[in-house]
Amino acid sequence: MHVRRKADSGYISLMHLSLRLALAVLFAAGTTTSAVAASADTCDQACQVEAAWQQQHQNALPRTAFYDAPDPLPWAPAGTLIRRAPADYTVGRATRILYHSRTSAGRDVAASGVVLAPAGDPPRGGWPVVVDAHGTSGIARDCAPSLMKDLYHGDQMTRFVEQGYAVVAPDYAGLGTTGRQEALNKTAEANDLLYALRASRGLGLSHRWLVWGHSQGGGATLGLAERFAGDRPPGYLGAVVTSPVTELRTLVDTLAGSPYTSGFIPLVAQGASYSDHRIRPERLLTDAAAQRLPLTTTGCLNVVLAGYQDLTGPALVRPRFADDPAFTRYLTRNTTGRAPIGGPVLLLQGDADTAVPRTVTDGVAARLCGLGSTVDYRTYPGLGHDTGYGVTGIDDGAMPDILAWAHDRFAGRPAATTCEAR
């Protein structure tokens, strides 16, 4: 997950406009007398949905033919580059890539992303690499970070670039490109991370790299690190994981109960159905919630969160929704933090995080330590999940520690562990 308060991307088409108007009518019809009598500067739900669409539009870049995969897609080894092109963002110029990845079932699929690098020629041996696993942006095609003017959290990426690193930032297959995003599927997302790195090798990159993942991307990062438990690849130096999405069953129960996070549930349900056709969102959601599912196929995160904020608990999900057999298997299969991982990990968590509670990440740290993994677990008073509304997020607040840890890994220093102290 990635509870984000900045603008998301997306283009407002005629279909989008129709959906916006329908939602506005729906919400207006349910407006209470007290809401109508509120002051003129009060923004009710219909107003917030409209504002979220406007933010999405303002931060969007046009989705060009670059993102259209060949149809049919000729088979190629995973990590094969299909095409690349320069693109301008508010944080500077980057190189867009389209490459061959794999779905969770092993099917060849096109995925997109960007590569940011310092100005000038790369040093001898290439730029050291940080692979960025982003938090939830949505599951609609227009919700690819590479289609957002600010790259979703490009300001954080530039902190690495300023220190001399190249950043490889995949979108996850189905975002930007044709196809569908398998939300929270650790196998598919780990594939996208690994194969984006392979596809970027011709851009002056070093063979040495680490991965940094936040929220949904934190779960993807742990999923990738699990692959390296028995066979750590040459050049892999470790992982930075911030507020990771791990205990999925606990997570969905928690998210469904809050108006600020309830919109994640239809995103997860719809995305999971793209991985497993036996998962039927309409069996998990109430009729009222299921009627709004088209919002997840066009709107990005802020739009979906605004559109579902009036539906929580029994108004959002059916009784014992997480006990649906197919959905339960999906959540269990894609839970991370319960298997050994390869390489050291810097695990960071804010005490003020309301999306991923500290108690959950405490448990992840303890289990990984018990499995013999090298874990440096740090918690931060006052830091939240993301920056916004007067709260500093974990990535922004802990960035000096993240950069220092990355520097030590590339310098060849041994990684510290907090496991013995636990």
Task: Provide the pLDDT for residue 13.
Answer: 35
In this structure, what token pair is assigned to residue 348?
Answer: 């960071």
Task: Provide the pLDDT for residue 420.
Answer: 81
In this structure, what token pair is assigned to residue 384?
Answer: 């939240």
Task: Provide the pLDDT for residue 18.
Answer: 39
In this structure, what token pair is assigned to residue 56?
Answer: 């999405």
Residue located via tokens 């497993």? 276
Comparing CA positions, the residue from 240, 242, 95 lying closest to residue 166 is: 95
131: β partners = 168, 211
pTM score: 0.90
Comparing CA positions, the residue from 244, 171, 179 lying closest to residue 212 is: 244
Report the b/e string of 160-185 with b at 16+ CB within 10 A: bbeeebbbbbbbbbbbbbebbbbbbb
Q: Tens of pLDDT along the chain (422 residues)? A: 554 444 333 323 333 443 444 444 344 333 332 333 333 458 899 999 999 999 999 999 999 999 999 999 999 999 999 999 999 999 999 999 999 999 999 999 999 999 999 999 999 999 999 999 999 999 999 999 999 999 999 999 999 999 999 999 999 999 999 889 999 999 999 999 999 999 999 999 999 999 999 999 999 999 999 999 988 899 999 999 999 999 999 999 999 999 999 999 999 999 999 999 999 999 999 999 999 999 999 999 999 999 999 999 999 999 999 999 999 999 999 999 999 999 999 999 999 998 999 999 999 999 999 999 999 999 999 999 999 889 999 999 999 999 999 999 999 999 999 998 65
Q: How many CB atoms lie within 10 A of CB 91?
A: 17
Task: Provide the pLDDT for residue 10.
Answer: 31
Spatial distance between the Cα atoms of 382 and 206, rounded to a whole number of angstroms: 36
Task: Provide the pLDDT for residue 2.
Answer: 56
Task: Provide the pLDDT for residue 202.
Answer: 93
Task: Provide the pLDDT for residue 42.
Answer: 81
113: β partners = 97, 170
Residue type, 215: S
Task: Provide the pLDDT for residue 1.
Answer: 59
Q: How many CB atoms lie within 10 A of CB 146?
A: 28
Is 130 strand, coil or helix?
Answer: strand
Task: Provide the pLDDT for residue 30.
Answer: 36
Burial of residue 329, with CB atoms counted within 10 A of its CB: 0-12 exposed, 13-18 middle, 19 or more buried: middle
Spatial distance between the Cα atoms of 14 and 10, rounded to a whole number of angstroms: 13
With a CB cutoff of 8 Å and minimum separation 6, the contacts of 387 are 5, 393, 395, 396
Pair type for strands 92-102 and 81-89? antiparallel
Alpha-carbon Rg of the chain, whole angstroms?
21
With a CB cutoff of 8 Å and minimum separation 6, the contacts of 221 are 133, 193, 211, 212, 213, 239, 240, 241, 244
Is 395 strand, coil or helix?
Answer: helix
Is 108 strand, coil or helix?
Answer: strand
Task: Provide the pLDDT for residue 43.
Answer: 87
User: Do 145 and 171 contact (CB within 8 A), yes or no?
Assistant: yes
Q: 186-199 vs 216-227: helix axis angle to the nearest 10?
A: 80
Spatial distance between the Cα atoms of 67 and 65, rounded to a whole number of angstroms: 5
